[in-house]
Chain A
Amino acid sequence: MLIKDAPVIWEGLRSIICVYKPPSVTCERVRKTIIAAVCKGLNEMECRPPVDFVCIEGNPSGKLTVSVKPSLADDPLVVGPRYIHDDLKCSWSNFLGFNTSGVLLLGLGKGTKVAKLIRENRPTRCYRLSGKLGEATDNAFKDGKVVERTTWRHVKLENMNRFLATLQASHQKEMFKSCGIDLQSEEAYKLACQGPIRPANSKLPVIYGIKCVKFEPPEFVIEIQCINEYETYLRSLIHEIGMKLHSSAHCTAIQCIRHSYFTVENALLRKHWTLQDIITNMEQCIQIMDEHENIIRQKSAALQ
């Protein structure tokens, strides 16, 4: 790193970073690890020197000597490191559950505002869900207790594709219903001409595209583009797919492979969570946001 001054770097923390959240780790833990890494990196750089301590000594009736020396009360050994964990603000723009892995956008410092804007814009996310046919568990994930075993050899790729297509169609119908406009109006027609739209409600999950990318029974992988989803919803989706195929299924992995314009390629792996890499990643993210301005400011309800 060319810059050696910690305050310069500190001021530069005003955007988002894109990290790869590993599975079996909470978002909160990721956040704390990132904060700790940034603070550690900053404290190792050249920090602010201690403030001056003005010392007046001698007899007031005689001559007084005034000396200025660095104040020990401001020494890092006495007051602690210059940058502490509570100083750095950090928030995520998409929450990923405990078992989910993949792209996680974190706003650092003043970038928390950017993260908030991205969150409120509700961009689409793309997930890759791995499932396994034949067993249903109580929490629809692989670590749950098996509650049901079924046969799965009758399930073919055509069955799967047919069901996924109906699911997608029903969601798109729902999408227009929940857009907040009367479906019989002119406005609704104009909106529908633009293509898929985003829902007005932030609570209702909407699936825009769903397809099976790998089918090796009993294992299968589906890719899904959606908005407003959450981990339990995705898990129950796999469970539902299993039931509709006259079998049963549970989820083995959930991976977020894309969040708006940020893909797994941009994401920072756990071993690279150091100040140097975080700053480089932040620059990349700023570049991506410059290329696609609509990620922060959006004008229409159409899906982007």
Chain B
Amino acid sequence: MLRNLLKTYSVRVYFRIRQFSSVQSKAAEGALSTKSEYNLLDTRTIPNDDTIDSKDLEPEPSVLEPCNEDISYVAPYLRPSFNFAAYVNKSETLQKLVQLGVELYKLEKNPDVPPYLLQLDFEKDIKNHIIFLTDLGLETADLGWLITKNPFIFKEDLDNLQVRINYLKFKKFNDEMILRIVQDNPHWLGFSTQEIDKKLGFFQKNFGLTGNEVRSLTVKKPRLITYNLNHVKLNTFVIREEMGFTPDETKQILLQKPKIFMKNQKGMLKTFEYLHKEMNIPLETIAKMPQVLTCREFRLQQRYLFLKHLGKIQFDPKQPNYISLIALVSDSDAHFATEVAGSSVNAFNEFLKTL
């Protein structure tokens, strides 16, 4: 990766550095103009004996004469570098981004980002976008996070961004919902309205959602809508075919816990198998409380075995001493041990050390 970075830098960095700040570009012009003067001087130091140049007749300024011209900005260009740290003290754009709280070190991981970001000018390319985003209601902390996640947002045209917001308004999302979407999903504004429309349509068609349900899903988990659709399809397959939930239950799970469709299916299947085969929890109960599927297997196992050790397993809501699955997986261990299991944290810790 480093080699790629250096390659891309060295080819274009010469021209890009000139653009990253006005001071720097001035320096570049100055360097060029002074360079040509030096060339003239050089040719004059070795005069040709045979021909008499007309310029030779002009009075020649002595080298010893004091120079009043400011040539302090004549300096070599910055060398190609593999990170932003080399440029940040000289580039105003980068300094502004740091003030916004953008984590530049994270951006270096993608080799396309540094050359792109270095050629931006804050006043010209970034300012208007930031004004646009703050008008939507984003805080400064959100902005830094958003740019860290999606630096290519400055590539999008402002009119396009407005169109994308208008699309959401047209689809009856109110301002709060739009703010939540942009805040939670930094990549949302990078998708065209056609793409977003297609993705929303996919969810509506595949899970049989009504308009309001699509809106509540979008606001609950904006990242799911723009997530890799192949992964969503795979997880739908896992939930419907491998776990055996009906389409209605799948929809219930989607609306209650959309995160399940973004998780890695392997860990989820393990949790499910433990729930269904070891703990004998029926599918309907799991569909009603899909939070349990996001719990990691070892955590579920620890708590279940502790309850079993105490002899307090009772997952039937119609009988006394019922323990809800949500209470089983949520909250800290201290809360679980005292409130749910009716024991103490120390006893629970002792038990964990026998596993």
Is the pairing of A and B real? yes
- By a beta-carbon cutoff of 8 Å, the part of chain A in contact with chain B is 20, 22-24, 53, 59-61, 71-75, 77-80, 101, 253, 255, 264-265, 267, 269, 271
Tell me whether B353 is interfacial, beta carbon within 8 Å.
Answer: yes
- A93 to chain B minimum Cβ distance, whole angstroms, is 20
Using known A-B contacts A101-B355, A269-B353, A271-B333, determine if residue A78 contacts B72 with beta carbons closer than 8 Å. no
Q: What A residues does B102 contact at CB under 8 A?
A: 77
Docked pose: A23 CA to B355 CA in angstroms:
8
B70 and A60 within 8 A (CB): yes
Q: Which residues of A contact B103 (CB under 8 A)?
A: 77
On whether the beta carbons of B101 and A61 are closer than 8 Å, the reply is no
Are A78 and B85 in touch, CB under 8 angstroms? Answer: yes
A72–B94 CA distance with the chains assembled, in angstroms: 10
The closest CB in chain A to the CB of B353 belongs to: A264
Given the interface pairs A72-B88, A74-B85, the reply to whether A255 lies near B105 with Cβ below 8 Å is no
Tell me, in angstroms, the Cα distance from A265 to B350 when the chains sit together: 8
> For residue A269, which residues in chain B have a CB less than 8 angstroms away from its CB?
349, 352-353
Tell me if B72 and A60 are in contact (CB < 8 A): yes
Interface size on B, residues (CB 8 A): 27
Cross-chain contact of B70 among A59, A75, A101 (Cβ < 8 A): A59
The answer on a CB contact under 8 Å between A73 and B88 is yes
**In the complex, how many angstroms separate the beta carbon of B121 from the nearest chain A beta carbon?**
18
- Residues from chain B with Cβ under 8 Å of A78 in the complex: 83-85, 88, 94, 98, 104-105
B349 touches A79 (CB 8 A): no
Q: Mark B90-113, 1 if CB is under 8 A from A, else 0.
A: 000011001001111110000000
Our pick among A60, A61, A73, A77 for the contact of B86 (Cβ within 8 Å) is A73
A contact residues around B116 at 8 Å (CB)? none
Beyond A22-B298, A78-B84, A78-B88, list 15 extra A-B contacts (CB 8 Å). A20-B353, A61-B67, A72-B88, A72-B89, A72-B94, A72-B95, A72-B98, A73-B86, A73-B88, A73-B89, A75-B98, A77-B102, A78-B104, A255-B354, A267-B353
Cβ distance A228 to chain B, nearest Cβ, rounded Å:
25
Binding site for A on B (CB under 8 A): 67-70, 72, 83-86, 88-89, 94-95, 98, 101-106, 298, 333, 349, 352-355
Interface centre among A23, A78, A101, by most chain B C-beta atoms within 10 angstroms, is A78
A71 lies within 8 A of B355 (CB): no
Looking across the interface, which residue of chain A has its beta carbon closest to that of B66?
Answer: A61
Q: How far is the CA of A271 from the CA of B298 in the complex (A)?
A: 12
Taking CB atoms, residues of chain B closer than 8 Å to A22 are 298, 355
Query: Which residue of B has the minimal Cβ distance to A69?
Result: B89
- Docked complex Cα distance between A73 and B354 (Å): 50
> Within 8 Å CB of B355, what residues of A?
22-23, 101, 253, 255
Given contacts A255-B354, A264-B353, contact A77 B85 (CB under 8 A): no
Which residue, of B70, B89, B98, B102, has the highest number of chain A Cβ atoms within 10 A? B89
Which residues in A have their C-beta under 8 angstroms from that of B95? 72
Cα(A253)–Cα(B353), bound, Å: 13
Give the complex CA separation of A79 and B87 in angstroms: 12
Residues of A within 8 A of B89 (CB): 53, 71-73
- Specify the chain A residue showing the minimal Cβ separation from B68: A61
CA distance A47 to B101 in the complex (A): 18
Q: How far is B95's CA from A255's CA once the two chains are assembled, in angstroms?
A: 54
Q: Flag if B70 contacts A77 (CB, 8 Å).
A: no
User: Is B101 within 8 A of A77, CB to CB?
Assistant: yes
A75 to B102, CA, bound (A): 11
Complex Cα–Cα for A20 and B62 (A): 81
Q: Which residues of B contact A264 (CB under 8 A)?
A: 353
- Provide the residues of chain B in CB contact with A59, threshold 8 Å: 70, 72
- A79–B353 touching, CB < 8 Å: no
Task: Decide: A80 near B105, CB < 8 A? Known: A72-B98, A73-B89, A255-B354.
Answer: yes
